[in-house]
Amino acid sequence: MIMVVLENVNKIYNEGTPRAFEALKSIDLEVSEGECVVLSGVSGSGKSTLLSLIAALDKPSRGKIAVNGELISKLPDLHASAYRAKTIGVIFQHFNLLESLSVEENVIVPLINSGFDMRTIKALADKSMELAAISHKASQEVKALSGGEKQRCAIARALIHEPKLILCDEPTANLDRANSLKFIEILQSLHDMGKTIIVATHDPLFEGLPFVSKVVHMEDGRIVKNER
Ligand SMILES: Nc1ncnc2c1ncn2[C@@H]1O[C@H](COP(=O)(O)OP(=O)(O)OP(=O)(O)O)[C@@H](O)[C@H]1O
Ligand SMILES: [Mg+2]
Protein backbone atom coordinates (compact mmCIF):
# COMPACT_ATOMS: atom_id res chain seq x y z
CA MET A 1 0.00 0.00 0.00
CA ILE A 2 1.10 3.56 -0.72
CA MET A 3 1.25 5.63 2.49
CA VAL A 4 2.19 9.07 1.12
CA VAL A 5 1.66 10.55 -2.34
CA LEU A 6 2.57 14.05 -3.46
CA GLU A 7 1.57 15.13 -6.97
CA ASN A 8 2.98 18.25 -8.52
CA VAL A 9 3.15 20.05 -5.17
CA ASN A 10 4.21 23.69 -4.99
CA LYS A 11 4.55 25.84 -1.91
CA ILE A 12 4.81 29.59 -2.27
CA TYR A 13 5.22 31.51 0.98
CA ASN A 14 3.65 35.00 1.00
CA GLU A 15 2.03 34.30 -2.35
CA GLY A 16 0.81 37.38 -4.18
CA THR A 17 3.10 39.76 -2.28
CA PRO A 18 6.51 41.19 -3.22
CA ARG A 19 7.99 38.78 -0.64
CA ALA A 20 6.61 35.71 -2.44
CA PHE A 21 9.04 32.82 -2.21
CA GLU A 22 8.68 29.47 -3.93
CA ALA A 23 9.96 26.97 -1.37
CA LEU A 24 8.74 23.80 -3.16
CA LYS A 25 8.61 23.36 -6.92
CA SER A 26 6.67 20.55 -8.67
CA ILE A 27 7.31 17.90 -6.06
CA ASP A 28 6.28 14.33 -6.92
CA LEU A 29 6.95 11.73 -4.26
CA GLU A 30 5.62 8.33 -3.25
CA VAL A 31 6.35 6.54 0.00
CA SER A 32 5.07 2.99 0.52
CA GLU A 33 3.79 1.67 3.83
CA GLY A 34 6.70 0.46 5.97
CA GLU A 35 9.35 2.41 4.07
CA CYS A 36 11.99 4.54 5.79
CA VAL A 37 12.91 7.51 3.59
CA VAL A 38 15.69 10.02 4.22
CA LEU A 39 15.20 13.57 2.92
CA SER A 40 18.53 15.27 2.42
CA GLY A 41 19.65 18.63 1.10
CA VAL A 42 21.40 21.78 2.26
CA SER A 43 19.82 24.30 4.61
CA GLY A 44 16.95 26.11 2.87
CA SER A 45 16.33 23.39 0.28
CA GLY A 46 12.76 22.81 1.50
CA LYS A 47 12.94 19.73 3.75
CA SER A 48 11.00 21.15 6.71
CA THR A 49 8.48 22.75 4.38
CA LEU A 50 7.82 19.37 2.78
CA LEU A 51 7.37 17.68 6.19
CA SER A 52 4.99 20.41 7.37
CA LEU A 53 2.76 19.82 4.33
CA ILE A 54 2.71 16.05 4.91
CA ALA A 55 1.80 16.72 8.56
CA ALA A 56 -0.96 19.11 7.37
CA LEU A 57 0.58 21.84 9.53
CA ASP A 58 0.51 23.96 6.40
CA LYS A 59 -1.17 23.67 2.99
CA PRO A 60 0.40 23.43 -0.46
CA SER A 61 -0.19 26.31 -2.88
CA ARG A 62 -0.77 23.82 -5.73
CA GLY A 63 -0.92 20.08 -6.08
CA LYS A 64 -2.27 17.12 -4.19
CA ILE A 65 -1.14 15.29 -1.07
CA ALA A 66 -2.70 12.05 0.12
CA VAL A 67 -1.68 10.17 3.26
CA ASN A 68 -3.01 6.76 4.24
CA GLY A 69 -5.69 7.09 1.56
CA GLU A 70 -6.90 10.48 2.82
CA LEU A 71 -6.62 13.62 0.69
CA ILE A 72 -5.05 16.12 3.08
CA SER A 73 -3.94 19.00 0.85
CA LYS A 74 -7.12 20.98 1.47
CA LEU A 75 -8.21 19.81 4.91
CA PRO A 76 -9.86 22.49 7.07
CA ASP A 77 -7.89 23.11 10.30
CA LEU A 78 -10.19 21.10 12.55
CA HIS A 79 -9.90 18.05 10.31
CA ALA A 80 -6.15 18.60 9.99
CA SER A 81 -5.68 18.26 13.73
CA ALA A 82 -7.87 15.15 13.81
CA TYR A 83 -5.77 13.72 10.97
CA ARG A 84 -2.56 14.41 12.90
CA ALA A 85 -3.97 12.93 16.10
CA LYS A 86 -4.87 9.75 14.25
CA THR A 87 -2.09 9.22 11.75
CA ILE A 88 1.05 11.28 12.41
CA GLY A 89 3.84 11.31 14.97
CA VAL A 90 6.30 14.20 14.70
CA ILE A 91 9.80 14.33 16.17
CA PHE A 92 11.57 17.69 16.00
CA GLN A 93 15.05 18.90 16.80
CA HIS A 94 13.59 20.94 19.68
CA PHE A 95 11.58 18.84 22.04
CA ASN A 96 8.86 21.24 23.25
CA LEU A 97 8.42 19.37 26.52
CA LEU A 98 6.83 20.69 29.69
CA GLU A 99 9.91 20.98 31.89
CA SER A 100 8.32 20.75 35.33
CA LEU A 101 6.22 17.69 34.54
CA SER A 102 7.51 14.14 34.68
CA VAL A 103 8.41 12.09 31.64
CA GLU A 104 5.24 10.05 31.93
CA GLU A 105 3.05 13.14 32.30
CA ASN A 106 4.59 14.65 29.17
CA VAL A 107 4.08 11.43 27.26
CA ILE A 108 0.34 11.26 28.01
CA VAL A 109 -0.38 14.92 27.11
CA PRO A 110 -1.61 14.07 23.57
CA LEU A 111 -4.25 11.73 25.03
CA ILE A 112 -5.71 14.13 27.60
CA ASN A 113 -8.87 14.70 25.56
CA SER A 114 -8.90 11.32 23.88
CA GLY A 115 -11.71 9.88 25.98
CA PHE A 116 -9.60 6.81 26.83
CA ASP A 117 -9.74 5.64 30.44
CA MET A 118 -6.69 6.10 32.64
CA ARG A 119 -5.77 2.41 32.51
CA THR A 120 -5.62 2.39 28.72
CA ILE A 121 -3.62 5.62 28.72
CA LYS A 122 -1.17 4.19 31.26
CA ALA A 123 -0.74 1.02 29.18
CA LEU A 124 -0.10 3.06 26.00
CA ALA A 125 2.37 5.28 27.88
CA ASP A 126 4.26 2.24 29.20
CA LYS A 127 4.45 0.81 25.69
CA SER A 128 5.75 3.97 24.06
CA MET A 129 8.24 4.77 26.86
CA GLU A 130 9.55 1.23 26.44
CA LEU A 131 9.93 1.73 22.68
CA ALA A 132 11.75 5.02 23.22
CA ALA A 133 14.04 3.50 25.88
CA ILE A 134 12.99 6.00 28.58
CA SER A 135 10.86 3.84 30.92
CA HIS A 136 13.55 3.97 33.62
CA LYS A 137 12.99 7.76 33.91
CA ALA A 138 9.18 7.68 33.83
CA SER A 139 8.66 9.57 37.08
CA GLN A 140 11.58 12.00 36.74
CA GLU A 141 10.99 15.69 36.00
CA VAL A 142 11.97 16.59 32.46
CA LYS A 143 14.19 19.48 33.59
CA ALA A 144 16.53 16.96 35.23
CA LEU A 145 17.02 14.90 32.05
CA SER A 146 20.00 14.90 29.70
CA GLY A 147 19.51 16.09 26.09
CA GLY A 148 19.34 12.54 24.76
CA GLU A 149 16.80 11.55 27.43
CA LYS A 150 14.66 14.61 26.65
CA GLN A 151 14.58 13.56 23.06
CA ARG A 152 13.57 10.01 23.97
CA CYS A 153 10.77 11.49 26.09
CA ALA A 154 9.64 13.48 23.04
CA ILE A 155 9.77 10.31 20.96
CA ALA A 156 7.61 8.45 23.49
CA ARG A 157 5.10 11.33 23.35
CA ALA A 158 5.10 11.22 19.53
CA LEU A 159 4.35 7.49 19.59
CA ILE A 160 1.66 7.27 22.25
CA HIS A 161 -1.28 7.38 19.82
CA GLU A 162 0.38 4.62 17.72
CA PRO A 163 0.75 6.68 14.53
CA LYS A 164 1.31 4.91 11.21
CA LEU A 165 3.51 7.67 9.82
CA ILE A 166 6.45 9.15 11.73
CA LEU A 167 8.03 12.41 10.56
CA CYS A 168 11.42 13.44 11.97
CA ASP A 169 12.97 16.86 11.34
CA GLU A 170 16.74 16.97 12.05
CA PRO A 171 16.22 14.56 14.94
CA THR A 172 19.91 14.25 15.82
CA ALA A 173 20.93 17.90 15.36
CA ASN A 174 21.25 18.47 19.10
CA LEU A 175 22.57 15.04 20.08
CA ASP A 176 26.07 13.71 20.57
CA ARG A 177 27.20 10.68 18.63
CA ALA A 178 26.21 8.09 21.25
CA ASN A 179 22.70 9.51 21.57
CA SER A 180 22.40 9.81 17.78
CA LEU A 181 23.26 6.12 17.42
CA LYS A 182 20.67 5.30 20.07
CA PHE A 183 18.13 7.33 18.12
CA ILE A 184 18.92 5.32 15.00
CA GLU A 185 18.37 2.10 16.98
CA ILE A 186 14.93 3.34 18.02
CA LEU A 187 14.18 4.21 14.40
CA GLN A 188 15.20 0.71 13.38
CA SER A 189 12.78 -0.84 15.87
CA LEU A 190 9.97 1.43 14.65
CA HIS A 191 10.80 0.32 11.13
CA ASP A 192 10.73 -3.34 12.24
CA MET A 193 7.22 -2.71 13.65
CA GLY A 194 6.09 -1.68 10.17
CA LYS A 195 5.90 2.08 10.72
CA THR A 196 6.40 4.39 7.75
CA ILE A 197 9.16 6.91 8.49
CA ILE A 198 10.41 10.08 6.79
CA VAL A 199 13.54 11.72 8.24
CA ALA A 200 14.87 15.11 7.13
CA THR A 201 18.53 15.26 8.03
CA HIS A 202 22.01 16.23 6.96
CA ASP A 203 23.60 13.93 9.52
CA PRO A 204 26.08 11.61 7.75
CA LEU A 205 25.21 8.89 10.32
CA PHE A 206 22.07 8.26 8.23
CA GLU A 207 24.07 7.40 5.11
CA GLY A 208 23.96 3.75 4.10
CA LEU A 209 21.64 2.53 6.88
CA PRO A 210 20.32 -0.88 5.83
CA PHE A 211 16.69 -0.11 6.70
CA VAL A 212 16.60 3.15 4.70
CA SER A 213 14.87 2.28 1.42
CA LYS A 214 15.54 5.54 -0.38
CA VAL A 215 17.31 8.85 -0.10
CA VAL A 216 15.54 11.85 -1.61
CA HIS A 217 17.89 14.74 -2.34
CA MET A 218 16.42 18.24 -2.40
CA GLU A 219 17.97 21.31 -3.91
CA ASP A 220 16.37 24.71 -4.10
CA GLY A 221 12.82 23.39 -3.58
CA ARG A 222 13.11 20.52 -6.06
CA ILE A 223 13.78 16.81 -5.77
CA VAL A 224 16.96 16.37 -7.78
CA LYS A 225 17.72 12.75 -7.02
CA ASN A 226 15.63 9.91 -5.67
CA GLU A 227 17.83 6.87 -5.13
CA ARG A 228 17.18 3.42 -3.65
N1 LIG B 1 7.09 30.86 6.88
C2 LIG B 1 7.95 31.17 5.90
N3 LIG B 1 7.85 32.32 5.22
C4 LIG B 1 8.69 32.63 4.21
N5 LIG B 1 9.71 31.84 3.80
C6 LIG B 1 9.87 30.67 4.44
C7 LIG B 1 9.01 30.28 5.53
N8 LIG B 1 9.43 29.06 5.97
C9 LIG B 1 10.49 28.73 5.21
N10 LIG B 1 10.75 29.69 4.29
C11 LIG B 1 11.83 29.64 3.28
O12 LIG B 1 11.67 28.47 2.49
C13 LIG B 1 12.92 27.87 2.21
C14 LIG B 1 12.91 26.43 2.66
O15 LIG B 1 12.88 26.39 4.08
P16 LIG B 1 12.89 25.02 4.89
O17 LIG B 1 12.77 25.38 6.31
O18 LIG B 1 11.89 24.11 4.31
O19 LIG B 1 14.36 24.48 4.56
P20 LIG B 1 15.16 23.24 5.17
O21 LIG B 1 15.62 22.41 4.02
O22 LIG B 1 14.32 22.57 6.20
O23 LIG B 1 16.42 23.92 5.85
P24 LIG B 1 17.24 23.52 7.20
O25 LIG B 1 18.13 22.40 6.78
O26 LIG B 1 18.00 24.76 7.52
O27 LIG B 1 16.25 23.14 8.23
C28 LIG B 1 13.97 28.72 2.91
O29 LIG B 1 14.56 29.60 1.97
C30 LIG B 1 13.19 29.50 3.95
O31 LIG B 1 13.76 30.76 4.18
MG1 LIG C 1 14.54 22.33 8.25
Closest CA to ligand 1's atom 9: 49
Determine the Cα–Cα distance for residues 170 and 174; give it in Å rounded to an integer. Answer: 9
* Averaged confidence pLDDT in the chain: 95
**What is the model's pLDDT at position 92?**
84
Is 47 near ligand 1, meaning CB less than 6 Å away?
A: yes
**Using CA of residue 107, residue 69, residue 184, residue 133, what is the dihedral sign?**
positive
pLDDT band at 94 (very low <50, low <70, confident <90, very high): confident
- Which of 13, 54, 174, 217 to mutate to test ligand 1, by most ligand atoms within 8 A of the CB atom? 13
Please name every residue paired with 199 in a beta bridge, in sequence order, or none if there are none.
38, 168
| 24: phi then psi, degrees, rounded to nearest 5 | -130, 135
Per-residue pLDDT tens over the stretch 155-176 = 999 999 999 999 999 999 988 9
Segments forming the whole domain that contains residue 144: 2-227
**What is the model's pLDDT at position 95?**
84
Q: For residue 100, how far is its CA from the centre of ligand 2 (angstroms)?
A: 28
**What is the model's pLDDT at position 226?**
77
The H or E element spanning position 11 is: strand 2-13
Q: Which residue type is seen at 7?
A: E
What CATH number does the domain containing 126 carry? 3.40.50.300
Number of structural domains the chain divides into: 1
Per-residue pLDDT tens over the stretch 99-155 = 999 999 999 999 988 899 999 999 999 999 999 999 999 999 999 999 999 999 999
Q: Is 99 helix (H, G, I), strand (E, B) or coil?
A: coil
Q: For residue 11, how far is its CA from the centre of ligand 1 (angstroms)?
A: 11
